Structure 1
Amino acid sequence: MAKAHVQHKLLDMMKRRIPTVIAIVLLLAVWEAWVRIEHVPSTMIASPSEIAQATVETWPTLWPATQVTLLEGTVGFLLAVACGILIGILLYCSRIANAALFPLLSAAQTMPLISIAPLFLIWFGFEISGKIVIVAVFGLFPIAVQTIRGLEAVPQFYSDVALTCGATRAWTLWHVKLRVAARQIYGGIRVSAAYIFATAATAEYLGARKGLGIWLQAAYNSFRTPLIFSATLVIIAITGVLMCLVNLSERVLLGPVGEDEDPDAGQ
């Protein structure tokens, strides 16, 4: 019975993924054919085969650059998750803090990276620590916002039941409200994860010693378009891995989405 259920879920997953795979294959085929038939110069746009060849040939230098960006993005992301959730809880619990800090938090997200990167270069130099801070600052906003929205959306009866049973308000917040709001918080974490490594690479491009941003800068300066695509694909790939890990952690910590549904909701 359990084996049949697993097989059914795998079949459903494959059916959902087949259209995506077909679309990607068709896109790559059309792209390759267009570049070859029209004889488009590789300095303008590279074909998928040229990008794959360039990636393989330059992997010994591309991978060390990827490791730097991976480190900056991962550490910055973890800091963003921790700080974002804590800031969200603080702004939810304190109206004064919300009124004082939320506008500043929102304003910080409206500033383009290129306008504040020079400050981080002055403060941190070309070291990795500066890129980690930039990633954390730009990544915590959606997490903080979704934490606030998730806590505000928790029905009041959850707190009433816990308090009636003798729980303190602090215990209710950490063990009841946050658990109910966790799905929405994970929504903010996913939004943050989607652009973490792109932010790290952009920060490197504006000033660093190593990383995919420096790789992109060197490829651009030498007009090696295939290498630009190679770095871009690596950023997409590691972002996809991070998104999968976020989804996996949600499933492990909270269980399948269907388990949160109220069995009496349809009655």
Structure 2
Amino acid sequence: MAASHVQYVHSEHAQSVISRYFSTVLSICRRSIPTVIAVVLLLAVWETWVRIGNVPSTMIAAPSEIAQATVETWSTLWPATQVTLIEGTIGFLFAVLFGILIGILLYCSRIANAALFPLLSAAQTMPLISIAPLFLIWFGFEISGKIVIVTVFGLFPIAVQTIRGLEAVPQFYSDVALTCGATKTWTLWHVKLRVAARQIYGGIRVSGAYIFATAATAEYLGARKGLGIWLQAAYNSFRTPLIFSATLVIIVITGILMCLVNLSERVLLGPTSDDEDPDAQQ
């Protein structure tokens, strides 16, 4: 009897998990329908305009020409993409690490905040084209210089959102933890950071949105290989479809990165509904 009851409970749990999974998939599909329709309409209008208007391909390429060019040059486009992927991914991980650590430091120390935050802000106002030559002098044409550039330009929004997230944590969280015997350091790492994590992820998403574009731009200004060099070669040869091909690849890999960021947030923090206060509705 007990064994059959356990089997029944497991069966009910499995059905519940499967039901939630399909419900989530259906919800995502429903939310994606307007986007898919908009993209299809945009591509159709774009293709029609280029074909009917007899627009030269050197001026703007039709979606079909871009797709054909992407397939035909994939043997060279993919190796270039791999270089930019490595630079952007490593730089992004460093940006997340150092952005959170710097944010914690500036939150904990008013002196450090007053001394370093203006410098951090000033670093973000400098155009990439003005500092890229310095990185070429320091690191040469190797990918290490591009990783540093991506890290520097990617950590600012993460650091800012870390500071703001920690400052927005209600005081009663710390009071409860300290009353239970926790130290200030433990409270910071296990309570405040957990409560501020949603806002920190907001900064991570902002940073991830332009990571690969930054890497490609840095390559364009000076590198041996990568999507930036590939773009430069396409521009020099006036092959407009290839420029769109590289742009499409950057958009796709950025989208994949954003999906991974959202997935990691879901795995680490759970759905946003878990953060709602059940007593708030009462």
| TM-score, normalised relative to structure 1 | 0.99
Aligned AA for 1:43?
T
Alignment equivalent of 1:177, drawn from 192, 201, 204: 192
Shift of 1:218: 0.3
Residue 180 of structure 2: aligned partner:
165
* 2-structure distance, mates of 1:230, 1:33: 19
2:102 corresponds to 1:87: yes
* 1-structure distance, mates of 2:278, 2:189: 25
Question: 8-17 vs 49-58, which deviates more?
Answer: 8-17
2:52 corresponds to 1:30: no
* 1-structure distance, mates of 2:135, 2:20: 52
2:244 corresponds to 1:238: no
Shift of 1:265: 1.1
* 1-structure distance, mates of 2:77, 2:170: 50
Q: Percent identity?
A: 87
Shift of 1:6: 3.1
Residue 118 of structure 1: aligned partner:
133
Alignment equivalent of 1:60, drawn from 75, 82, 92: 75
Residue 154 of structure 2: aligned partner:
139
Residue 195 of structure 1: aligned partner:
210
Residue 40 of structure 1: aligned partner:
55
Gap runs ≥5 in structure 2: 1-14
Shift of 1:266: 1.9
Cα deviation, 1:128-161, whole Å, max 9, x if unaligned, reads 0000000000000000000000000000000000
Residue 248 of structure 1: aligned partner:
263
* 2-structure distance, mates of 1:8, 1:84: 36
Aligned AA for 1:231?
A
* 1-structure distance, mates of 2:273, 2:20: 15
Alignment equivalent of 2:244, drawn from 229, 237, 240: 229
* 2-structure distance, mates of 1:207, 1:12: 44
Structure 1 vs Structure 2 CA RMSD: 0.8
2:114 corresponds to 1:99: yes
Shift of 1:198: 0.1
Alignment equivalent of 1:17, drawn from 22, 26, 32: 32
Q: Runs in 1 of length 4+ with deviation above 6 angstroms?
A: none
Shift of 1:7: 2.8
Question: 87-96 vs 5-14, which deviates more?
Answer: 5-14
| TM-score, normalised relative to structure 2 | 0.94
Q: Secondary structure at the match of 2:141?
A: coil
Shift of 1:12: 2.1
* 1-structure distance, mates of 2:25, 2:226: 37
Q: Secondary structure at the match of 1:126?
A: coil
Greater Rg over alpha carbons, structure: 2
Aligned AA for 1:24?
V
* 2-structure distance, mates of 1:75, 1:8: 35
2:273 corresponds to 1:258: yes
Gap runs ≥5 in structure 1: none
